[in-house]
Structure formats: C-alpha cells, structure tokens
Amino acid sequence: MPRGLKQFLYGLLYVALAALLGILAWRTFFFAPATCTDNIQNQGEAGVDCGGPCTPCEIKALAPLQVFTPYTLSLSTGQAIALFAVANPNSTYHAARFAYHVDVFDRGGTRIEAFDGTDSLFAGERKYIIESRITARRSNIGRIEISLSNPQWESVAQFSAPTLSLSGVMTEMLPRGSIRVAGSVANTGGIAASNVHVLAVAFDKYGGRIFAAQNVLTSLVGFENASFTIPFPTDTVFQNIDTARTQVFVSGQ
C-alpha cells in the first residue's frame, strides 16, 4: 500500500475515533434523555409529558386533591387533635388511595412531631379527617401543616361510590358535662360500603369548634341501616356549647 494512502487511512481512523469520543462525551455530559418531565412531546407521548410511557393525559389534567387549614382542638388536659378537611374536586376520577403527612410545630417554629396516614376520596367528595396521635400539649403547638401526595386515581367507570345518609341525629348532654351524638346511618344504594366513618364536630354558641370525635362501622351492605353513638371524652371543655350547632359527617370506602 502506498505510504500516502496509508497515512490518509490512518488519518480517517483517528478522525472517526475522535468523533466517536466526542459523541460519547456529549451524550454523557450534555445530552438529556427524554423524560416525562422535560416539557417536550417526545418518546411516543400523546401530549406534552403525558400518554405513551408517561401518565395518561386525562389523569395528568386532573385537579390536585385539596387540603384545608387544620383546626387544633384540645381537651381540658391539653391533649390535642388536628381536624382537617380534604376534597377531591374531580367528578370523573376517585382517589382510591392517597397519602397525607402531618407536621406539628412548636411556637418557635421547630417541628416537634410528624405523622403519616392514608385515606381515600370519591369523585367530588369532601370530608374531615381526625389526627389523634399528637402527644404535644395544645399550649406548646404553634401550628400544624398538612400535605397530600401520591393519589391513586381510578375512573368512576371502574366502580361507583356507595350512597350514605344520616337520620335522627341528636346531641345529648351527659350528667358529667360531656355530650353524646347518636343517630342512624343508611346505605341507600346497592353498593356495599366499608370502613364507614361517622364524625361529629361540637361547636360553642359563638360558632367556634370545641372538639371532634368519631365512630367507625366495619361495613354497610346495600340498603342496610345501622345505629351509631359517638361519645365525646369526659374531659372535653364544653363551656358555652350549643348542641344545635353540632355537625355530623359520614364517609365510607
């Protein structure tokens, strides 16, 4: 092989190797592979960062679950609970399961306790959750923060929500100064309900929340009725209570 041709071929080989090394370096340090969060419609996506290998576009378009400002309520002993409302503003998808996180801060802004839990919300549902694992005294609590995450969405076409209703609800004052809320809950449809929570919130005559308590029924089959009683702790401070203001809520799974 002529010397000039050999040098030419070696030159081409060096150029090819240099180009290959350059491409490898670019892919390693500068090239960003397609992802489901790159704000680009690629990798077979039906929309920007949805469809294909990513979250279905219909689910990505859903409104996030809502959590509302928690109320910190306490007994006369200072033991505290957090009462907070959550809501699913979507009418076409249930949140079959979601996680919630509770942070408790002292008056100086330091986090002193944290709790995790799970719950569910039917399409369009709003309900209250009681967090009773708090050990800090009410006087030491500065604020409580709630966050929601990881909803598992299921279409209303996959399953329907049970229809629950309350009747005959009464708030009764007890001899030791506490109260008891009683009534009936009915499953007015043919879909069985499990883990049925009946939650009552007591108010004073000024409209302020005093305390909250709940009773959990294991299940209600279709068209079943059941009685419930919700006793409030005897050391709840029921000063200026207005039994007519008591609010009762029912939810199930």
Q: 185, 218 in Cβ contact below 8 A?
A: no
Under the banding of pLDDT at 50, 70 and 90, the label for residue 25 is low
31-84 tens-digit pLDDT: 557 788 878 888 777 788 888 888 889 888 999 999 999 999 988 888 899 999
The pTM is what?
0.80
Question: What's the pLDDT score for residue 212?
Answer: 94
Look at residue 1 and tell me whether its pLDDT is greater than 70.
Answer: no
User: pLDDT: is 88 or 13 the higher one?
Assistant: 88
Look at residue 9 and tell me whether its pLDDT is greater than 60.
Answer: no
Question: What's the pLDDT score for residue 218?
Answer: 86
End-to-end CA distance of the chain: 83
Phi, psi of 214 (to 5 degrees): -150, 165
Under the banding of pLDDT at 50, 70 and 90, the label for residue 22 is low
CATH 2.60.40.10 range(s) for the chain read 164-251
Question: What's the pLDDT score for residue 151?
Answer: 97
| Residue in 63, 153, 30, 59 with CA at minimum distance from that of residue 49 | 59
177-235 tens-digit pLDDT: 778 999 999 999 999 999 999 999 999 999 999 999 999 998 999 999 999 999 988 77
Which string of DSSP letters, residue by residue, matches the chain? Answer: --HHHHHHHHHHHHHHHHHHHHHHHHHHHT-----TTSSS--TT-SBTTBSTTS--HHHHTSPPPEE-PPEEEE-TT-BEEEEEEEE---SSEEEEEEEEEEEEEETTS-EEEEEEEEEEE-TT-EEEEEE----SBGGGEEEEEEEEEEEEEEETTT-----EEEEEEEEEE-TTS-EEEEEEEEE-SSS-EEEEEEEEEEEBTTS-EEEEEEEEEEEE-TT-EEEEEEEPPTT---TTB-GGG-EEEEE--
Under the banding of pLDDT at 50, 70 and 90, the label for residue 12 is low
Q: In this predicted structure, which of 96-105, 177-186, 235-244 has the lowest mean pLDDT? A: 235-244
Strand bridging mode 247-251 / 164-173: unpaired
State the architecture of 164-251 in CATH terms. Sandwich (2.60)
Question: What's the pLDDT score for residue 3?
Answer: 59
Question: What's the pLDDT score for residue 47?
Answer: 82
Question: What's the pLDDT score for residue 188?
Answer: 95
What average pLDDT does the segment 130-149 reach? 95
pLDDT over 90 percentage in the chain: 63
CATH 2.60.40.3230 range(s) for the chain read 59-155
Q: Is the CATH number 1.10.760.10 carried by domain 59-155?
A: no
Q: How far is Cα 134 from Cα 105, in angstroms, rounded to an integer? A: 11
